[in-house]
Amino acid sequence: MRRYETIVIVDPDLGEEQRGVVFDKIRELIPQKGGLLVEFDEWGGRKLAYEIKKKQRGYYVRIDYCGGGDLVSEMERQFRIDDRVMKYMTILLDTEADMERIQEAMTQAEQEAEAAAAASESADPPETATEAVAEAAPVETEPETSPEPTESEAKKEEA
């Protein structure tokens, strides 16, 4: 099995529902062709380096997955057919990807994220930003003392 990364630029004028249709098609295609979706990272709308199809902006998505050459061919065929996809590029990351190790790493990362979320929920968050700073680094206060009078103040008091 090989590991690939594909960057896709979708038309930024599409609504969330229409983008979802394009992305769902990709998410369904990978397991159908015997692949494994490692990460689906939506970068969002960004300015393009150059104009594509008379557009200055694009909606970027990075797809990290494992599969064979037939999966890549089918994905790129889908991208060519779909007018909503402006550009795409696929890169081979690893020729001998171990799917079992990748799946184990994915499940471990999910468990760590769940544990971190549970830990953050159990701690009571401070109500304001100043309370957060006060909790993070408590400051010891010294008892207030009256400052020493200056020479001019001492002369005024004597008179």
Domain boundaries, given as residue ranges, for the chain: 2-100
Instruction: Give the pLDDT mean for 131-149.
Output: 51
| Sign of the Cα pseudo-torsion (68, 73, 74, 80, in order) | positive
Residue with the two structure tokens 């549970």: 118
Sheet architecture: strand order including 2-10 = 36-52, 55-67, 2-10, 85-94
Instruction: Give the pLDDT mean for 12-38.
Output: 91
Q: What pTM was computed for the model? A: 0.66
Pick the CATH number of 2-100 from 3.30.70.60, 3.20.20.70, 3.40.190.10, 3.30.2130.30: 3.30.70.60
List the helix and strand counts (H, then E) for the chain: 5, 4
